[in-house]
Structure 1
Amino acid sequence: MNRSKLALAVASAIAAMAQAHAGSIEFTGVDVPVTDAAKRVIQASPSAVVDGRTASIGFHTILRSGDSAGSGVFGQIYDQSGAPLQTEDGANVISNDNDFASLLQNKRGQLFMVSHFESRPAAMYLTELRQTRTGDLQAVRTRALDFSQVNGGWVHCAGSVTPWGSHLGSEEYEPDAKQWRDGNISDYNAAMAAYFGASASAATDMNPYDYGYPVEVKVDSFSAASVAKHYAMGRIALELAYVMPDGKTAYMSDDGTNTGLFRFVADAEGDLSAGTLWAAKWNQKSGTGTGYAKLSWVNLGHASDAQVKDWIASYKFADIFDEVAPVSGACDEGYTSINAGHDAATQQCLKLRDVNGDGVVDVADEAIASRLETRRWAAMEGATTEFRKMEGITFNPDAGQLYISISEVSKGMEDDKGSDVGGPNSIRVAKNACGAVYALDVDGNYTATDMYGLVAGTPKTYAVDSPYYGNTCDLDGIANPDNITYLPGYNTLIIGEDTGTGHQNDAIWSYNLDSGVLTRIETTPYGSETTSPYFYPNINGYAYIMSVVQHPYGESDQDKLESADQARAYTGYIGPFPRMDGKLTGKNTLNPKSKGWLDKLAK
């Protein structure tokens, strides 16, 4: 074979490897922690066999809440003026609610991390990272991002990285604007008043329509990073938004009780500032197990960020809906009955008003409702708002499947008239308190067409004399799946947990889609949850699975806390792995002596 033909053959092989299911990964499993000592630490797989070669890995901390890096304190919360929030005894407020953390590179190859803190007020931190020659990631300096131009951040939960390399964050459990109208603002919502330097009693000065949107962060340098809320994408209890490979279609999961699944299609690739919003309708074909449905999509109309920003400043709940009380479960003529969402038994009878005051109720008013009251309007238009604890989203490009975690298959998803009051009871599947991950087939336009269970937890009762007593989900399976990520080319799904009694110590799992084998690859300390598993196949020759351990001793087992230091959260990663992007080159996948020659042939 002459040199040109060999070059073509090698180039073809490289392209094929990048697209084919050629990779293999097998983790060394982690045991269920049974001793007090094991339940207090992070356990992670010490090694993995990647493409036939053993890699030494483990969990590595980049920063813990309260750590200093440069002049910044990771997780310190600030108000609108940039002053640190303080407790009653004068201490600065440090959040232990670390959540999603992305890895980003700018055009000059510098490496950064954008990190969420899931609180009210919330925070996002920008951290400059150093990558060592052995692949370790170290914090150089960190700072809080300025959200004052968007009236602060709200409960930043999960997130993703866009195909164009920006950070796409979230604002979970959007405040209910009806509470502002009714004057009974909950303590949960009122906590945001501190951002404006006000007491909780002054929460009436807040605008609830400022929160509940995807948040995009673009990083040019440590000192130059932009923050934008994409109001056009709608306002929900946003767990995360995930942009598909077309750079236009984004799926959004809506956390809580009686919630929906949403899809946004941007006008232009790489620009989420304007587009059309859709809501899914579950057309059930089977109620067996976790169920199976054909999905249809309800068009909620078009809008731009600029339009919605004007609407936020202009309209309140009472401007959008006329409401009457249901009588014996029925609504007056002209009013639509819905389940309000988040509350398992709240029926509302609503009618759209002439919101913009032009004398007629038309599509212009519908557009306003679709963005400021997205879930309510979706339900009024016939979309399904009966999901329970919809969490992580990821995409498998090898099979053309979307995966979505449902942390608990319960309440509105059951055939339960108590939870379904006011709604059509479209989802009627068996309760599974341990949750499930669903697969969604997508067509050539990245539109999901079918939805069915992929892997589920199994409720189980352990004997009183068992070392596993108190766990309510089988320890050999998942419990309350939360965030998930897919390893392209390796047919492997990574599943993180957010569970209370299901598993005393939350875990992260590797799930082989070919064999159906689950391998436990991380466990976390008492009372914490796993957040932010997210896969990066190649950063300068190394791969990483990001992993964040949120609020140790904070969700349960508070009595086990022995010192304040133990309660500090961890932001870090599992790895480093050799690069896993399907390329044939690189010191981790071939003889180093061959690298330069193969690179030249590939060109």
Structure 2
Amino acid sequence: MPMKLLTVAVLAALGLVGCNSSNDSNDSVLPRVKSVEFIGMPAPSTDQERASAYTTAAVKVTYDDGSTQASPLRHQSLYYSTDSITGETGGHVYDVKGNVLKDVNGNPFIAETPDSNSLLQVSGAAATGKGGNPLYLVTHFEYVWRDSSVPPKDLYGKAPMVMKLSTVDQSKSNGDLSVVKLRNISMAGVRGLWIPCAGSLSPWNTHLGSEEYEPDARCLETDTCANVYGKDSHLAALIAMNTYFGDTTTAKPYNYGLLPEVTVKADGSTTVAKHRIAGRISRELVQVMPDRRTGYQGDDGTYTVLTMFVADKADDLSSGTLYAAKWNQISDQNGGAANLTWIKLGSATDAELDKMVNTDNIKFSDLFESSDKEVAGFVKVVAGHEKVKTEWLRLKPGMEKPAAFLETRRYAAYLGATTEFEKMEGVTVNAADRKVYIAMTRMSSGMEKAKDATVPDHIQLPKSLSGAVYELTTAQSVKDSAGNAINSDYVAVSMKALVVGEDIAKDAVGNTANVDKIANPDNLKYSEIMRTLFIGEDSSTAHINNFLWAYNVDTGKLARILSIPAGAESTGLQAIDNLNGFAYIMSNHQHPGDFSPNIDPALKARLTPLIDPLKGSVGYISGIPQLR
């Protein structure tokens, strides 16, 4: 309350306090939004602030009749990963039969990692019993971080994961949201789910999820994962899915790293499909363009690729064509800029690819001959998602199609696309300006100018560990690298850094990036009416507390609007301009207390007892006046 009262007092002093937004739907007499300004908050300074999710920010809306409304923002948690609602615990995970999975001590796993949110309305949904509007919320839980051992073991990637469906009541008077029912979304029909990260709401009102990493089929087939990568992350995928199925034979690497789509029906039942035409990469999320066919996706890792797919039909991701980008650099200043060309990888359907994997039992060695040393007639490929991996590959005859969709990054590199991007994460679209925004957590490794000839070196930028958000400009009537027309009106032709972080020498508490600029951007969402790009951070080293930012694309103003507990990641972003007359910014945080190694030891000691590491939060920001 003191923070809220302070914010109101500041707004009053600025002459910005207005009435609360009404739910009047008479658009013929109500003014339209002219501009929206977020009034930022300072970085946290006390231990209590550093241990909390809170906001003291505000928003001011100016309408076309000259009137204004201003309001303090409010952050509210819907539930925590440890909460149980109608018999379902947020962070519980399940096997293929629907049994709650437990750790070695017999305690249920708790996934403290809520990520993607899609808040949606389905026509015909039954009343909630609380008198409000019935809504549904799909939420990812990304991974189990730790077990109940003392000290806890790191279980990253070693458990199958889940999506949860909340039935939500939306108050008709003030728009407040509350969960009245929580249930697990079964993944049995799609052979389970591994590391779902971010996601988006499709233009046709389905949830588009992700599987952030794709198990390396080559190293799993040759049993060299631990030697190649120095840890068993790819083996973790099989550990997780073997646990899911309860056997060691059912899980196949080519069934993961895909695009899950969840359809929610009026009665709250769900159907899930996994799509293959978007390829198989370390997918952060997919963002579909306004044509309802073209999609862009982040590839989260080291030495990764920018891909675009074009579905054959609107609102149907079961068949299409996949492309990979080549970065043609024109500047290395302020995060860099480039023109983009697109290399066609292939066209396919989900059905034929699924048959290859699950009926024909295709393996990596069916697609490529491979070597870790130079071989005459082989192509040198530099790609990976954990560290640079140099291989020499030769495609086997007739294997172009499965290589394109099952080994997307390798095949893209094989054909000359750029595979030097570094932790390419969130993606969102500005429909009015025909822009795409993509987060790059940092510009290092492959994005730096190479010190030797081990990589193609398309990208040559100064090192930045704070990262940037890039803006992609799209065009119509674009041809691919072979001179063939791309059947999309939203083909990115250029890419430049738009919002850039700033590295600094480590300060007293451990920040290594300027706290008044972004650091390690991850989640992105764009509001068309607010003309605002929301940027959530996943800074494991640069910022001791991660923040959620609002960046106005017209004014260039950047405002901090949320601070989350130290060590936590800002996730679950969704910008909602108007849902029954109310606006929201969905915002979660995960793995609180996963402290940066740079944190001041004394500060860490004080914060540790204040933060419950199991309490990831599913939540939202409200207080935004009515947008129309």
Is TM (by shorter chain) over 0.5?
yes
Amino acid at match of 1:281: K
Counterparts of residues 125-144 of structure 1 (less than 5 Å): 125-132=164-171, 133-144=173-184
1:479 partnered with 2:519: yes
CA distance in 2, matches of 1:155, 1:427: 29
Alignment partner, residue 186 of structure 2 = 146
Q: Distance in 1 between matches of 2:297 and 2:194?
A: 17
* Alignment check: 8 A CA contact 1:554 1:567 kept: no
Hey, what's the Cα distance between the residues in 2 that align with 1:325 and 1:308?
Answer: 28
Alignment of 1:158-173 (within 5 A): 158-173=198-213
Residue 541, structure 1, aligned to residue 581, structure 2: yes
Match of 2:5 in 1: none
- Unmatched 5+ residue regions in structure 2? 1-25, 63-67, 126-133, 144-158, 227-231, 477-488
The within-5 A match list for 1:246-261 is 246-261=291-306
1:367 to 367, 377, 401: 401
1:466-545 equivalences under 5 Å are 469-545=509-585
Cα distance, 1:458–1:311 mapped onto 2, change above 3 Å: same
Write the letter of the residue equivalent to 1:99: D
Structure 2 distance, partners of 1:13, 1:366, is 59
Taking the aligned partners of 2:180 and 2:225, their CA distance within structure 1 comes to: 41
Q: Which residue of the other structure, out of 429, 432, 448, is the alignment partner of 2:464?
A: 432
Q: Distance in 2 between matches of 1:198 and 1:26?
A: 49
- Are residue 442 (structure 1) and residue 477 (structure 2) matched? no
Residue of structure 1 in register with 2:269 after alignment? 224
Greater shift, 317-326 or 401-410, is seen at 317-326
Corresponding residue for residue 351 of structure 1: 394
1:112 maps to which of 114, 123, 136: 136
Report the equivalent of 1:75: 91
- 8 Å contact from structure 1 (residues 253, 261) kept in 2: yes
2:36 partner amino acid:
I
Deviates more, 1:157-166 or 1:47-56: 47-56
Query: Is contact 2:383-2:420 (8 Å) kept?
Result: no
Distance 2:459 2:58 in 1: 42
- Whether 1:275 and 2:315 are equivalent positions in the alignment is no
The residue aligned with 2:105 is: 89
Residue aligning to 1:212 = 257
Q: What is the aligned partner in structure 2 of residue 592 from structure 1?
A: none
Q: Quote the offset at 1:33 in angstroms.
A: 1.1
The corresponding residue for 1:568 is: 615
Taking the aligned partners of 2:246 and 2:184, their CA distance within structure 1 comes to 27
**Contact 1:175/1:189 (8 A) holds in 2:** yes
Aligned counterparts, 1:545-564, within 5 A: 545-556=585-596, 560-562=607-609
Alpha-carbon separation, structure 1, partners of 2:268 and 2:246: 36
The answer to whether the 8 A contact 2:522-2:538 is kept is: yes
How far off is 1:462 after superposition? Answer: 5.0
CA distance in 1, matches of 2:424, 2:550: 20
Distance 1:213 1:42 in 2: 32
Letter of the aligned partner of 2:326 in structure 1? K
Contact between 1:276 and 1:303, CA under 8 Å: does it hold in 2? Answer: yes
Equivalent-residue separation in structure 1 for 2:582 and 2:573 (angstroms): 16
Task: Give per-residue Cα distances to partners, 1:472-525, cap 9 Å, x unaligned.
Answer: 111111111111111213322111111022110000111122222211100110
Aligned twin of 2:285: 240
1:311 to partner: Cα distance:
1.5
For 1:564 and 1:11, the matched residues in 2 are separated by: 45
Shift of 1:194: 5.5
**SS state of the match for residue 377, structure 1?**
helix
Pairwise CA RMSD of aligned residues? 2.3
Aligned position for 1:455: 499
> Residue type matched to 1:451 in 2?
M
Counterpart CA distance in 1 for 2:197 and 2:416 is 28
After superposition, residues 175-324 of structure 1 pair within 5 angstroms as 175-186=215-226, 187-193=232-238, 198=243, 206-221=251-266, 223-313=268-358, 314-324=361-371
Higher mean alpha-carbon deviation, 549-558 vs 392-401, is at 549-558
Distance 1:215 1:200 in 2: 19
Contact 1:62–1:572 (8 Å) recurs in 2: yes
Equivalent-residue separation in structure 2 for 1:128 and 1:405 (angstroms): 31
Instruction: For residue 154 of structure 1, report the CA deviation from its aligned partner.
Output: 0.9
* 1:587 paired residue number: none
Cα distance change on mapping 1:304 and 1:478 into 2, 3 Å: same
Q: Distance in 2 between matches of 1:46 and 1:70?
A: 34
The amino acid that maps onto 1:259 is T
1:336 aligns with 2:382: no
Q: CA deviation at 1:206?
A: 2.5
On the 8 A contact 2:220/2:235 being kept in 1, the answer is no
Partner of 2:162: 123
Residues 253 and 393 in structure 1, CA contact (< 8 A), matched pair in contact too: yes
Moved more, 184-193 or 139-148: 184-193
Aligned AA for 1:100? S
Q: Is the 8 A contact 2:382 2:388 kept in 1?
A: yes
CA distance in 2, matches of 1:286, 1:29: 31
User: Distance between the aligned counterparts of 1:579 and 1:308, measured in 2?
Assistant: 46
Deviation string, structure 1 residues 420-473 (Cα, Å, up to 9, x no partner): 72x311111111110001111001310000001111001112554xxxx42111
Tell me the CA shift for residue 416 of structure 1: 2.0
Code of the aligned partner of 2:575: F
What secondary structure does 1:567 align onto? coil
> Taking structure 1 as reference, are residues 410 and 68 closer, same or farther at Cα in structure 2, changes over 3 Å only?
same
Aligned to 2:436: 402
Output the CA distance in 1 between the equivalents of 2:217 and 2:184: 28
Q: 1:366 to 1:336 in 2, by over 3 A?
A: same
Q: Which amino acid aligns with 2:336?
A: G
TM, length-normalised to structure 1: 0.87
Aligned length: 548
User: Cα offset for 1:190?
Assistant: 3.4
In structure 2, distance between residues paired with 1:325 and 1:579: 59
Contact 2:69 2:625 in 1 (8 A): no
Aligned pair in 2 of structure 1 residues 23, 175: CA closer, same or farther (>3 Å)? Answer: farther
Deviation at 1:396, TM superposition (A): 1.1
Q: Deviations over 1:67-114 (max 9, x none)?
A: 111121112100111111101111111100110111011122531000
One-letter code aligned to 1:407: T
Larger deviation, residues 537-546 vs 64-73: 64-73
Report the Cα distance in structure 2 between the residues aligned to 1:56 and 1:194, rounded to whole angstroms.
Answer: 47
Equivalence for 2:624: 577
SS at match of 1:561: helix
Query: Does the 8 A contact of 1:135 with 1:576 survive in 2?
Result: no
Identify if the C-alpha distance between structure 1 residues 143 and 542 changes in structure 2 by more than 3 Å, giving closer, same or farther.
same
1:47 counterpart residue number? 58
CA distance in 1, matches of 2:505, 2:122: 50
Residues 127 and 139 of structure 1 are in contact (CA less than 8 Å); yes or no, is this contact kept in structure 2? yes
Name the CA shift for 1:555/1:237 in 2 (closer, same or farther; >3 Å). farther
Deviations 1:138-187 (A, max 9, x none): 00111111111211101100011111111000000211111211213453
- With 121-130 and 109-118 compared, the bigger mean Cα shift is at 109-118
C-alpha separation in 1, matches of 2:493 and 2:383: 26
Cα 1:171–1:31, aligned 2, differ >3 Å: closer, same or farther?
Answer: same
CA distance in 2, matches of 1:291, 1:555: 31
* Alignment partners' CA distance in 2, 1:175 and 1:296: 28
Report the CA distance shift for 1:44/1:151 in structure 2 as closer, same or farther (over 3 A).
same
What CA distance in whole angstroms lies between the structure 1 residues aligned with 2:469 and 2:308?
A: 18
- Deviation, 1:340, is 2.9
